[in-house]
Structure 1
């Protein structure tokens, strides 16, 4: 395992980021929280469908998760930059634990209603809206700039693992008893809170207590607008994912084009996360040491090409390989973008910038699924996938011209 020192030469004796006790506690907190949330999503979705038999209610579950993030974005960022981020993360996880345990009690008493589930989803969505950007803002203060890329790659691998394991765990626990996933998730949230409470931040600047004004609330947006590299990276991800989101059409491909059945759909759904997990593990051991900006553009271009390959494939195994490449290439872009956004943002503004970044990511995912569905309805799923992949390639070409500063970025170690 090698790291890069500030002179750019390989240093084979630098410790692993996992040797950092505070970072290990951060990983435990994020992994437990993500596992709990992914498990809950499956359990609550299944339960509300059992209670109502309505696909519309499943849509309301997704909307109740997204709206708090949309509404609270600027509040979240301001709070994260004014107060101790560890305490914010701890408070969020306590709220999540309490909400889930109350749900479990209502399930046990057979008093849980669809309205109660939607209310709980909204509370959990609001807590997640605070937790995610706040916890992301903690990482640079825990590991420092030199190890930031490794830290982001490693945490991404843990998050991808939770993304794969969490839904399966939720389904398994629900099969053991309706109350089981709620109890397990509540305990996971409590473990997450305990872990974040033990973190010591070593590299952070003191929290600002400047008066709250419209200027300070929207300072994250202003910073992004006047920093071309950050604006370019965030908007590149927004439009690339918005246009290249063919994975939203997986049920159609599995059923009508590949004739793969439910098992094949499961493999197709898991493939992007598995590809991302493999790449994040690789980047944790072999970090990008030069040409970071160019490699980010190349990764997004590969994402577009793999999307086209997936759209045109008639063989389930070729489709799975294409989706593995989609996940792996997207992960390269995520690690580069996340590292650069963290490094280029002053610590006293990371909460507000990360909140806006989280909004962009959530919006691109939600609108990307909507765009793919509408396009498939107009021209068919295969043409929609191909158009999306070509659109992603066009975005890469336009952004390389519009944001030349991104092409010139070399390092991800803060040098």
Structure 2
């Protein structure tokens, strides 16, 4: 059997440029989200306001997801990504001005707050395009036999940025304040905009250019529904993330429970991403495609346990370790899910399938933030986190019992078919 090259996709120059663009984007986006969370909670001291941030992003992200997937499948991917990044830069610039004291000196607190929510809302609209565009672009840069390897490195890049972004944001808030931290975000977005043009234009592989929108959307939804491996994986992940969204309450833990300030907040926010990144780095050498279904169920069950431990902890080190291992288990889930999507999605439907995935999984982070904010307001912060972790455990056990297709999922055969296709 041919020895696997863990760096195979990294030997493609354009893929490395793509990874740099993705790193800059995720780094900037995660920084911006953390800074805004900190600023909004500092203004309101209300946990529900943190939930509203998530809600303001998820409403347009879900509402536009399917239409975005249709547009992505119809358009050239590189230029579409550049357009999205350009629009994102205006949102970052707007948030920069909303934290400039001389700019908002005559504004009321509520006016500033609503303006921030509005820009977050437009960011959610853009996010509905980012996911499908990036997912589709990967498939046009690397050959099919390298999809699993490319998915691992792309997800790892996302996690590295998610590690450094929140931690860097926490320290920047402490050293230069919220306003100038957002200036750094704007600079990073501009850098990603100029870098994306080093990727060449790509062909449009959709044989149904000009297809009616509703027919296109129906085809995408039906494909996901009929492909039980995709449907089961993304549904399970959506529900677990929805109820395990404890990270939305981290400003409360950092400021009021653990009392560790912005530096501790950055460390707590980065801990899950560090765990996930290390896991995905290992999977580049030790693929986890065999018995993928059981590994997915076990990983998400472990995620729920970690969330419960974090919720009950009042010791910073224990909380940090619990969040780290929640990232380890989440990393396993992410690699398996991305591999399923890349292997089982035909080229002409990548935008639509990725948009359905973003509706299920990507947006569940924000819905989870809203759920956590509401339950924290009603039950108290600790009870809300423990409740979320418990619901995750119940979901995994139920899914494992009623969905034998997912439980028995094995990706070895799919990998071999793609390796022999070229």
Q: Shorter chain as normaliser: what TM range?
A: 0.7 to 0.9
Deviations 1:252-289 (A, max 9, x none): 666777x5543655543332122112112222333224
The unaligned stretches of length 5 or more in structure 2 are 418-422
Report how far residue 119 of structure 1 moved.
4.1
Q: CA RMSD in A?
A: 3.5
Equivalent residues of 1:292, 1:410 under 8 A apart: yes
Cα 1:384–1:159 change in 2 (3 A) is same
The 2-side partners of 1:186 and 1:246 are apart by 28
Match of 1:27 among 19, 37, 40: 19
- 1:130 is aligned to 129
The 2-side partners of 1:323 and 1:394 are apart by 20
The unaligned stretches of length 5 or more in structure 1 are 1-8
The 2-side partners of 1:13 and 1:365 are apart by 33
Report how far residue 236 of structure 1 moved.
0.6
TM-score by length of structure 1 reads 0.83
The 2-side partners of 1:197 and 1:183 are apart by 23
Deviations 1:179-237 (A, max 9, x none): 64454433322332333333348897346314224221233222211221111111111
The 1-side partners of 2:243 and 2:37 are apart by 27
Deviations 1:352-392 (A, max 9, x none): 11112112224422333444455556666555555544433
The 2-side partners of 1:76 and 1:237 are apart by 22
- 1:294 is aligned to 294
Written as runs of structure 1 = structure 2, the 5 A alignment for 1:70-149 is: 70-101=62-93, 110-111=102-103, 114=112, 116-149=115-148
The 2-side partners of 1:30 and 1:57 are apart by 29
The 1-side partners of 2:97 and 2:290 are apart by 53
TM-score by length of structure 2 reads 0.81
The 2-side partners of 1:123 and 1:383 are apart by 32
Q: Which moved more, 1:321-330 or 1:175-184?
A: 175-184
Number of aligned residues = 405
- SS of alignment partner, residue 223 of structure 1: helix
The 2-side partners of 1:203 and 1:296 are apart by 34
- SS of alignment partner, residue 284 of structure 2: helix
Cα 1:166–1:376 change in 2 (3 A) is closer
Q: Which moved more, 1:85-94 or 1:283-292?
A: 283-292
Written as runs of structure 1 = structure 2, the 5 A alignment for 1:19-58 is: 19-44=11-36, 55=46
Written as runs of structure 1 = structure 2, the 5 A alignment for 1:15-414 is: 15-44=7-36, 55=46, 61-101=53-93, 110-111=102-103, 114=112, 116-170=115-169, 175-176=175-176, 180-200=180-200, 205-206=205-206, 208-250=208-250, 259=258, 261-262=260-261, 265-313=265-313, 315-373=315-373, 375=375, 384-406=384-406, 407-411=408-412, 413=415
- SS of alignment partner, residue 11 of structure 1: coil
Deviations 1:62-81 (A, max 9, x none): 44322321221122011011
Equivalent residues of 2:166, 2:269 under 8 A apart: no
Report how far residue 15 of structure 1 moved.
4.7
